[in-house]
Amino acid sequence: MPKQDEVKNELFPLLLEASALTFGTYTLKSGRVSPYFFTSSLLHTSALLASVARAYATVLTSPPFSIPSAVSDTTDCAVAQGHEPTYDILFGPAYKGIPISAIVTRELEHSGAPYSNVSYAFNRKEAKDHGEGGIIVGAPLKDKRVVIIDDVMTAGTALREAVSIIQAQGGIVVGVVLLLTRQERVSETESRSAMQVAQDELGVPVRAVLTFEDIMDAVERGDIKGAGPEQFEQMRVYREKYGSKDFEERTAGQATR
């Protein structure tokens, strides 16, 4: 089983136990009535943080965020796998992105020497005019390759703000990694998902650890306690109504293989 599938299977039970992922009837800010709800605010135990960090790390140590390494020291696990990062800094937008960027940076150290110099940074909501000053805490962003780390993306407003901050500091945004993408269209007039819109606008890879599709598959397999055929059907109906164009194209492509 691929490593990314392993960490997803490890993460689902913990999300359910912490009620970070729940099933029911939820009215979202958009007005849509969703059959499930996800909140990263409840990801605060050591076990959950460790699992979340490992999940992000599997994405960040795989293409397109890692490239083949020319080094061949097989005593190092990451080099033995032949990859090194295409980024220098993980940036966590305030506030939810702050702890995530820190724990994922720490987790990357376990991936081997090529990842040991990856740093993290985050923004203050208000610039500090004393002490070290400024709006950025952590690694300086100037001339550095930056991957933005966050939990979810709704309209993409927070992401655009983060990109503006990084660019104002002289940093270069090279990618975005989210914890979850809902894979639903932005609006009635925009059939792409917020994640796809961001990728198209920024011209950099935007990926997610977990997807709506992952949740559906886990429910269908019976891997999620308390979610069965009824919940699967509700999610199928929700997908039919709100599924994004890129989600539909992806699933159609998989069906023809």
Active site residues: 128, 130
3-state secondary structure 17-48: HCCCEEEEEEECCCCCEEEEEECHHHCCCHHH
Distances (CA, A) of 79 to 65, 89, 220: 15, 19, 37
For residue 6, how far is the Cα from the chain centroid? 16
Amino acid identity of residue 43, one-letter, is L
Length of the chain: 257
27, two tokens: 């009215």
* Helix 245-255 × helix 212-221 angle, to 10°: 50
128, two tokens: 């500090």
* Helix 229-242 × helix 212-221 angle, to 10°: 150
SS3 244: coil
